Amino acid sequence: MSPTADTALPTSIDDTLARLAALDYVADRQLATGVYLALKLQRPLFLEGEPGTGKTEIARTLAAMLGRPLIRLQCYEGLDLAGAAYEWNYGRQMMEIRLAEGTGMQRDALAAELFSERFLTKRALLQAIDPANAVPPVLLIDELDRADEPFEAFLLEVLADYQITIPELGTVKAPPGRPPIVILTSNRTREIHDAVKRRCLYHWVDFPDAARELDILRRRVPGASDELARQIVAFVQKLRSIELYKLPGIAETIEWTRALMELDAVVLDPEVIQHTLGVLLKYQDDIVRLQGSEAARLLAQVREEARVVAG
């Protein structure tokens, strides 16, 4: 296949699924539909779901799949235009003023010169829509729920029209027909404003079912034995059915598998689970709950179910 065909947009939902899978991202059909539509309709894709379910990963995979650079904007409280879109380089502007004093530059000319593109520091959002980009990048706006509400308002112009208005300079707009691919993620620690969601396609990323989780695990941790992977997936799926403060995501499953392999575990046993719970569960209350007989009980259940299925 020629390199251009490699990085072309997928042609159908099935094609999207297959090409994501080729990069070891096992998506469910609904997510693939969302991705396909986002690419086809050139709309941002808003992904919401529990932490560790592969929301950020999809942006990385898309960038690799389409051969686009990935621009990531990590949100945090107090993130403002200067951190997200652009900032004037005050130091250089100051220098320019000093130099202008020497040459006796006109006031108007100086004002125009000071706020020209030369003195602009581009941050993630502006980089993503920069008309100078050779290929439109993938823009990942990660954990939007961590930013405060005023920041969401900054995003509206970018999400709707792929443009940013800089008062001193004018409007910067992505080249027509070639906007960046925008992925927004949220862990839903708060509700994102409807105005943002309205401009996006929405998908709730759920925990994978056992078959898909096993598939993901085999691709991501190829060294794990079949038996171990099966047990791990069954155990984690079991964990998600009991009431925990924070359920383990697929990221935790992968981490745990790696940890178990480091410990040379061949099968799960209560003791090794006990020692590695901290990889899987991130709240003390949850860990306390599983300590002692509970983990052993769950494991026994998992084994029993496996025996029923096999026998």
Partner 1 sequence: MLFGQSSPGRLAENVMHFARVLRSAGMPVGSDRVMTALAALQVAGLESKRDFHAVLAACLVDRAEHRALFDQAFVLFWRDPDLMGRMRALLLPKVNVKDGATPPPENRRLGEALFPHQPNKPPDEPEQDQIEINAELTWNDREVLRQADFDTMSADEWREAQRLLRALNLVFEPLPTRRSRRATRPGRPDWRATLAAMARHGGELGDLRWRAPRQQPAPLVVLADISGSMSRYSRMLLHFAHALGHADAKVESFVFGTRLTRTTRLLKSRDPDLAVGQVVRAVADWSGGTRITTSLHEFNQRWARRVLSGRSTVLLISDGLEHGDTTALAHEMDRLHKCCRRLVWLNPLLRFEQFEPRAAGIKAMLPFVDRFLPAHNLNSLADLVAVLARRDDDARSGRPPH
Q: Which of 194, 199, 197, 192 lies closest to 162 in space, CA to CA?
A: 199
> Binding segment for partner 1 among 88-96, 208-216, 266-274, 297-305 (CB under 8 A)?
88-96
Is 251 within 8 Å of 278 (Cβ atoms)?
no
Nearest residue (CB) to partner 1, 50 versus 213 = 50
Give a three-class secondary structure readout of 47-100: EEECCCCCHHHHHHHHHHHHCCCEEEEECCCCCCHHHHCEEECHHHHHHHHHHH
Nearest residue (CB) to partner 1, 34 versus 268 = 34
> What residues does 189 pair with on adjacent strands?
none
Contact call for residue 37 and partner 1 (CB under 8 A): yes
Using CB under 8 A as the criterion, what x/- string covers residues 163-202 for binding partner 1?
Answer: -----x-------------------xxxx--x--xx-xxx
Nearest residue (CB) to partner 1, 94 versus 263 = 94
Nearest residue (CB) to partner 1, 5 versus 41 = 41
Applying CB under 8 A, which of residues 21, 23, 70, 110 lies at the interface with partner 1?
110
Sign of CA dihedral 235, 240, 245, 246: positive
Contact call for residue 226 and partner 1 (CB under 8 A): no
Contact call for residue 238 and partner 1 (CB under 8 A): no
Is 65 within 8 Å of 16 (Cβ atoms)?
no
Contact call for residue 297 and partner 1 (CB under 8 A): no
The structure tokens listed for 65 are 């799949």
Question: What is the rounded CA–CA span in Å between residue 28 and residue 167?
Answer: 43
> Binding segment for partner 1 among 109-117, 128-136, 215-223, 272-280 (CB under 8 A)?
109-117
Q: What Å distances lie between residue 236 and 162, 244, 277, 307, CA to CA?
A: 41, 12, 11, 17
Q: Which of 204, 120, 192 lies closest to 155 in space, CA to CA?
A: 192
Rounded to a whole number of angstroms, the minimum distance from the CB of residue 308 to partner 1 is: 29
Q: Residue 17 gets which letter from DSSP?
A: H
Applying CB under 8 A, which of residues 8, 21, 24, 40 lies at the interface with partner 1?
40
Contact call for residue 33 and partner 1 (CB under 8 A): yes
Nearest residue (CB) to partner 1, 208 versus 228 = 208
Nearest residue (CB) to partner 1, 202 versus 300 = 202
Contact call for residue 4 and partner 1 (CB under 8 A): no
Contact call for residue 143 and partner 1 (CB under 8 A): no
Contact call for residue 274 and partner 1 (CB under 8 A): no
Nearest residue (CB) to partner 1, 48 versus 142 = 48
Q: Which of 131, 144, 146, 127 lies closest to 87 in space, CA to CA?
A: 127
- Burial degree of 104 (CB within 10 A; 0-12, 13-18, 19+): exposed
Rounded to a whole number of angstroms, the minimum distance from the CB of residue 172 to partner 1 is: 17
Q: What Å distances lie between residue 301 and 44, 109, 209, 307, CA to CA?
A: 43, 78, 18, 10
Residues that bind partner 1 (CB under 8 A): 12-13, 29-30, 33-34, 36-37, 40-41, 43, 46, 48, 77-78, 80, 88, 90, 93-94, 97-98, 100-101, 107, 110-111, 114-115, 148, 150, 168, 188-191, 194, 197-198, 200-204, 243, 245, 285
